[in-house]
């Protein structure tokens, strides 16, 4: 950089080189030099230069004028440089210009650097080292900055630099007073007050210097003079700092030399884990390289997650980086039946802690805050605000000088813009949970029963408060084993009762957060409190704004606000997109709330889920027929097409199953019937996802409800669903039994559609059994009933079963004719399920006739359709056939790709009827390749 150039901004703008003084040119050229110098070595855009030169609308020639001023500066700076010097000082860079100078070559920048270095030294109490830096800063020219320079930038910078000059006088006086040298401070203070009679901090320091020098009468006279000028010029009384100094002088108190407060509580015993969180927090509060700590750090999370323990542990670990002391206060934001501390209460405590007599602490919040800032300026303090009720409580306490950090813990999510670094705590890992139990209850007990210790940790949900209570109970009862406590915690109905000892209790910790919402008197908080209570009535794995709206019986927007509020206080945790989950212990707490109108709410939500699920399944499978349901009044979720419907079903599947199972367990008929309707609504969607265990359990429960209610129609459909899952698990005898029960009930109730459906499915099972003649009889009877009903779906299925049976009987031409007719009908009706099945059967016939090329087109079409409708079990069968086709073509390498995919898909389906054949085909391909089979997983 231009090492021989020095720029002057304090006073008249100018500069010098080794060859003499620099003439900076006309005023606006000086303004351009000032902008470049104040930002050096960073570039300044032409637009910013224009804005800094002209108020309002600049002239059309503004940019051209900038180029002229830059050229003038280059001439001056380059001509003044040493001969043959090659480096340029004013450099162009992408419609911007930069002054390539070290900031220390610019007097205003050097002044600010001296001041900042001194401030950091003062913050550590090193006044004797700070004083020379301040005096060097004040030895620089101290005339009015940017004198005579026009433009909005110069105006703003002139004010800033003027304040900085006064700050230097203040800081020098502060250090001199701390060093007991008031006489050295007085001349500069007296001159500054004479020039700035309205500047209260300068007058306060002058009074303190006079008082320390034994000139109390003059100090009091200065106060009276300041009081008069403030009243005459501004119409105000002296501020908190001046009044505090006045009181101190009147009482004859020595000028305060603050002590070093050490208020941190002792770190909690048994603290474990949080290694990653500690690394991150240390980087903020004790950064490497001597950087200033972050001013505002928040640790947030649900009740009992260990926020306070982490804050105290961390503060103790970094306290050496805050030599001027550590302050701690419990704000009581979540303490039951005790009002939270006000910011005024906290200022009073903190001011007393740093040496301000309680009698002179102002009663006004703004004045107390001003006095607080004044007395900690230049110091490095760590302030721990534990258990904040929310941002409003701590916001007045956050305006601290550089070098001081505020560490806040709260159940609320806190955010104060870019100045807030927030860490949200969740539960401990299983390993750390067991380690905490070992510390509290004894490592030998954990080592003796590690599986039971893991169960205890799991039932505590990784929540440190719950783990601490569990450990304390074990320590209190040495005769208990880990298995004893695990057994006591295993009953969800009494788990919260078990998790309390003395004054520690998980239930009361959670209750305080919920009660604060309920009693806040704000609609959003009230809705959040009611929503949590209602979530304890209907036990869903997660919740969205749509479901929350159904629970609250109101608009989705208000429900989203309630969800967000619960997340802010960490009674719900966001998991993905717009979904939220409850910690297990929060869920158990919610079940204890028992809100009014609980059953009506369950009916409303179930009705919404049934109506939406039926609409979604109809959109995704328009050719499928759902079990009959009464007209239900509910506005479904807004689903406009099959894609949206499929996404909704996939996203809500766990909630739908959980709601159906809970409802079917209810003793009341209305809720139990809604649960069965919901289970039946999911039939075709579940066939695609093929979760056989869940399907079987759900349908068995539906059959139990139908039996309890003595409802033959419900029983008929439950038998139908059960038969499907049993058949796909290969349990054909049981499947036939349920199909025959379905058939009998359909005939008893006059349900012709269910009758023909049962006949067709019996035909399918008899084909699998090899009873093809019997299958033909069932298919014929299905066709007749379906034709009478006008059901193209039933007729099509009967034709498909007829064709499938005929091919096994060797009547290939008849089979293909029947299958082709069914395929044409499926394409015409847009039935992707039947079209895929028919392409597959026809492809199998082509393979049996050794026509693999003819088979592949239809098989690939079947694969695409099954993928489209998410019918994974059929995908396995098609993939096997495609592999066989490629083997017939002598292409084992291509066959292997499809055989491997068949095995992988079948594994995701669990107990699938095609899993064995997929493995066999996979092995057959490897045999043709002459290789030992390799597991594709």
Would you say residue 374 lies in a domain? yes
Angle in degrees, 0-180, between the axes of helices 523-535 and 506-518, rounded to the nearest 10: 140
Angstrom distance (rounded) from CA 779 to CA 759: 7
For residue 346, give Cα distances in angstroms to 349, 398, 415, 538: 5, 12, 20, 43
Within this chain, do residues 356 and 373 fall inside the same structural domain, yes or no? yes
Whether residues 394 and 492 share a domain: the answer is no
Q: Tell me how far apart the alpha carbons of residues 840 and 371 are, in angstroms, rounded to a whole number.
A: 84
* Cα→Cα distances 252→136, 227, 242, 249, Å: 34, 20, 15, 5
In terms of C-beta density within 10 A (0-12 exposed, 13-18 middle, 19 or more buried), how is residue 502 classed?
exposed
Q: How far apart are the first and last CA of the chain?
A: 62
Is residue 662 domain-resident?
no
- Asked if 342 contacts 349 with a C-beta cutoff of 8 angstroms, the reply is no
CA 488 to chain CA centroid, Å, is 34
Distance from C-alpha of 482 to C-alpha of 523, rounded to nearest angstrom: 45
3-class state of residue 419 by DSSP: coil
Instruction: Please count the other Cβ atoms lying within 10 Å of the Cβ belonging to residue 133.
Output: 23
Of 502, 523, 549, the last residue of a domain is 502
Same domain, 470 and 543: no
Residue 176 DSSP SS3: helix
Side by side, the strands of the sheet bearing 44-45 are: 44-45, 96-99, 90-92
736: its two tokens:
């036939």
Tokens 């090899």, residue? Answer: 770
For residues 308 and 329, the answer to whether their CB atoms sit within 8 Å is no
Whether residues 407 and 448 fall in one domain: no
Claim to verify: residue 468 and residue 392 sit in the same structural domain: no
**Residue at 60 is within a domain:** yes
CB atoms within 10 A of CB 780: 14
User: What's the structural domain count of the chain?
Assistant: 5
Is 357 inside a domain boundary? yes
CATH of the domain at 110: 1.10.10.10
CA distance 179 to 127: 7
Report which of 386, 351, 126 is spatially closest to residue 241, judged by C-alpha positions.
351
Whether 715 and 745 have beta carbons less than 8 Å apart is answered as yes
The sign of the CA dihedral 478, 481, 484, 490 is positive
Are 313 and 400 part of one and the same domain? Answer: yes
Buried b vs exposed e over 634-646: b needs ≥16 C-beta within 10 Å? eebbebeebeebb
At 840, which CATH number?
Answer: 1.25.40.10
Say which residue the tokens 């979530």 belong to: 535
pLDDT of residue 1: 47
Task: Answer yes or no: is 824 within a domain.
Answer: no
Domain that holds residue 281: 275-424
Q: Where among 575, 596, 617 does a domain terminate?
A: 596
Mean pLDDT, contiguous 10-residue spans, the chain (937 residues):
77 83 88 90 90 89 88 77 59 85 89 85 75 89 85 89 88 86 90 89 90 87 90 84 82 60 81 89 85 89 88 91 87 76 86 68 80 80 91 86 89 73 88 86 85 88 84 82 86 80 76 84 90 91 91 89 88 82 84 88 93 89 76 78 86 90 94 93 76 82 94 94 85 94 95 95 94 96 96 95 95 94 94 94 94 94 89 90 95 93 84 80 91 79
Domain-embedded: residue 248: no
Tokens of 770: 């090899």
Whether residue 692 contacts residue 700, with contact meaning beta carbons closer than 8 Å, is answered with no
Residue finishing a domain among 477, 502, 527: 502
Q: Let me know whether 51 and 20 are in one domain.
A: yes
Determine the Cα–Cα distance for residues 282 and 274; give it in Å rounded to an integer.
12
Residue 274: count other Cβ atoms within 10 Å of its Cβ: 21
260 domain residue, yes or no: no
Tell whether 498 and 514 lie within a shared domain. no
Report how far residue 550's alpha carbon sits from residue 601's, in angstroms, rounded to the nearest whole number.
8
- Assigned domain for 712 exists: no
103 plus 37 within the same structural domain: yes
Q: Are residues 476 and 584 in the same domain?
A: no
Same domain, 58 and 152: yes
Same-domain status, 465 and 540: no
pLDDT value at residue 123: 63
Q: Which pair of tokens denotes residue 624?
A: 């499928």
712-728 and 669-681 are packed helices; what angle lies between their axes, rounded to 10 degrees?
A: 40
> Is residue 61 classed as helix, strand or coil in its secondary structure?
coil
CB 43, CB 94: distance < 8 Å: yes
């Amino acid at each position: 950089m231009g090492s021989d150039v020095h720029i002057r901004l304090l006073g008249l703008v100018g500069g010098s080189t080794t060859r003499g003084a620099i003439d900076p040119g006309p005023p606006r050229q000086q303004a351009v030099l000032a902008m470049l110098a104040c930002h050096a070595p960073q570039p300044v855009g032409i637009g910013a230069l224009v804005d800094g030169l002209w108020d309002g609308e600049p002239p059309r020639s503004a940019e051209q004028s900038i180029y002229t001023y830059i050229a003038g500066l280059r001439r001056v700076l380059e001509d003044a440089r040493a001969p043959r010097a090659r480096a340029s000082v004013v450099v162009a860079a992408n419609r911007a210009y930069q002054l390539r100078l070290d900031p220390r070559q610019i007097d205003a920048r050097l002044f600010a650097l001296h001041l900042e270095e001194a401030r950091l030294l003062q913050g550590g109490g090193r006044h004797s080292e700070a004083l020379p830096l301040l005096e060097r800063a004040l030895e620089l020219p101290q005339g009015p900055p940017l004198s005579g320079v026009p433009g909005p930038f110069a105006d703003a910078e002139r004010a800033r630099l003027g304040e900085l000059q006064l700050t230097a006088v203040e800081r020098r006086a502060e250090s001199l007073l701390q060093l007991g040298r008031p006489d050295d401070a007085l001349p500069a203070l007296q001159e500054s007050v004479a020039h700035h009679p309205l500047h209260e901090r300068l007058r306060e320091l002058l009074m303190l210097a006079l008082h320390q020098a034994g000139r109390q009468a003059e100090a009091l006279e200065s106060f009276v003079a300041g009081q008069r000028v403030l009243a005459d010029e501004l119409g105000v009384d002296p501020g908190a700092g001046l009044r505090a100094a006045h009181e101190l002088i009147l009482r004859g108190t020595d000028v305060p030399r603050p002590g070093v407060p050490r208020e941190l509580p002792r770190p909690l015993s048994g603290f474990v884990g949080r290694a990653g969180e500690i690394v991150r927090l240390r980087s903020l509060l004790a950064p490497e390289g001597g950087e200033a700590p972050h001013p505002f750090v928040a640790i947030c999370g649900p009740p009992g997650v260990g926020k306070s323990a982490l804050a105290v542990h961390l503060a103790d670990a970094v306290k050496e980086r805050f030599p001027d002391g550590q302050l701690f206060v419990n704000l009581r934001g979540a303490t039951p039946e005790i009002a939270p501390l006000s910011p005024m209460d906290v200022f009073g405590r903190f001011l007393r802690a740093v040496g301000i007599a309680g009698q002179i602490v102002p009663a006004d919040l703004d004045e107390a805050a001003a006095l607080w800032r004044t007395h900690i300026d230049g110091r490095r303090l760590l302030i721990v605000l534990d258990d904040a009720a929310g941002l409003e409580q701590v916001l007045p306490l956050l305006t601290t000088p550089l070098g001081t950090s505020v560490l806040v813990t709260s159940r609320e999510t806190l955010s104060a813009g870019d100045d807030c670094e927030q860490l949200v705590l969740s539960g401990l890992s299983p390993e750390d949970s067991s380690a905490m139990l070992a510390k509290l209850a004894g490592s030998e007990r954990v080592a003796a029963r590690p599986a039971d210790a893991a169960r205890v940790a799991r039932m505590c949900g990784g929540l440190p408060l719950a783990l601490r209570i569990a450990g304390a109970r074990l320590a209190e009862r040495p005769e208990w084993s880990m298995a004893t406590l695990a057994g006591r915690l295993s009953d969800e109905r009494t788990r919260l009762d078990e998790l309390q000892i003395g004054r520690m209790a998980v239930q009361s910790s959670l209750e305080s957060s919920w009660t604060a919402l309920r009693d806040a008197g704000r609609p959003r908080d009230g809705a959040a409190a009611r929503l949590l209570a209602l979530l304890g009535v209907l036990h869903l794995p997660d919740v969205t704004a749509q479901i929350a709206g159904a629970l609250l019986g109101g608009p989705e927007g208000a429900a989203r606000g309630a969800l967000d509020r619960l997340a802010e206080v960490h009674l719900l945790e966001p998991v993905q997109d717009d979904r939220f989950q409850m910690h297990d212990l929060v869920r158990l707490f919610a079940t204890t709330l028992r809100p009014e109108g609980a059953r009506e709410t369950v009916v409303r939500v179930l009705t919404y889920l049934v109506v939406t699920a039926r609409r979604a399944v109809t959109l995704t499978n328009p050719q499928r027929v759902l079990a009959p349901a009464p007209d239900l009044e509910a506005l479904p979720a807004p689903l406009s097409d099959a894609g949206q419907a499929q996404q909704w079903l996939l996203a809500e599947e766990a909630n739908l199953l959980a709601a159906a199972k809970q409802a079917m367990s209810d003793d009341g008929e209305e809720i139990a019937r809604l649960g069965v309707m919901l289970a039946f609504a999911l039939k075709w969607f579940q066939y695609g996802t093929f979760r056989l265990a869940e399907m079987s359990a759900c349908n068995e429960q539906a059959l139990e409800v139908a039996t309890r209610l003595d409802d033959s129609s419900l029983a008929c459909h439950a038998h139908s669903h059960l038969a499907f899952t049993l058949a796909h698990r290969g349990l054909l005898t049981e499947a036939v039994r349920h199909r025959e029960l379905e058939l009998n009930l359909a005939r008893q109730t006059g349900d012709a559609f269910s009758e023909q459906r049962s006949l067709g499915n019996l035909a399918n099972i008899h084909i699998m059994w090899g009873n093809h003649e019997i299958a033909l009889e069932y298919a014929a009877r299905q066709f007749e009933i379906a034709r009478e009903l006008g059901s193209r779906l039933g007729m099509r299925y009967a034709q498909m079963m007829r064709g499938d049976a005929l091919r096994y009987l060797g009547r290939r031409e008849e089979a293909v004719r029947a299958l082709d007719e069914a395929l044409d009908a499926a394409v015409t009706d847009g039935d992707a399920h039947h079209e895929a099945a028919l392409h597959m059967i026809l492809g199998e016939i082509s393979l049996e006739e050794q026509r693999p090329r003819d088979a592949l087109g239809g098989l690939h079409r079947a694969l695409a359709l099954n993928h489209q409708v998410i019918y994974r079990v059929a995908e396995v069968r098609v993939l096997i056939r495609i592999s066989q086709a490629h083997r017939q073509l002598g292409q084992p390498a291509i066959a292997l790709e499809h055989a491997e995919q068949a095995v992988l898909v079948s594994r995701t389906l669990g107990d699938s009827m095609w899993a064995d054949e997929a493995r066999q085909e996979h092995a057959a391909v490897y045999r043709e390749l002459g290789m030992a089979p390799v597991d594709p997983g």
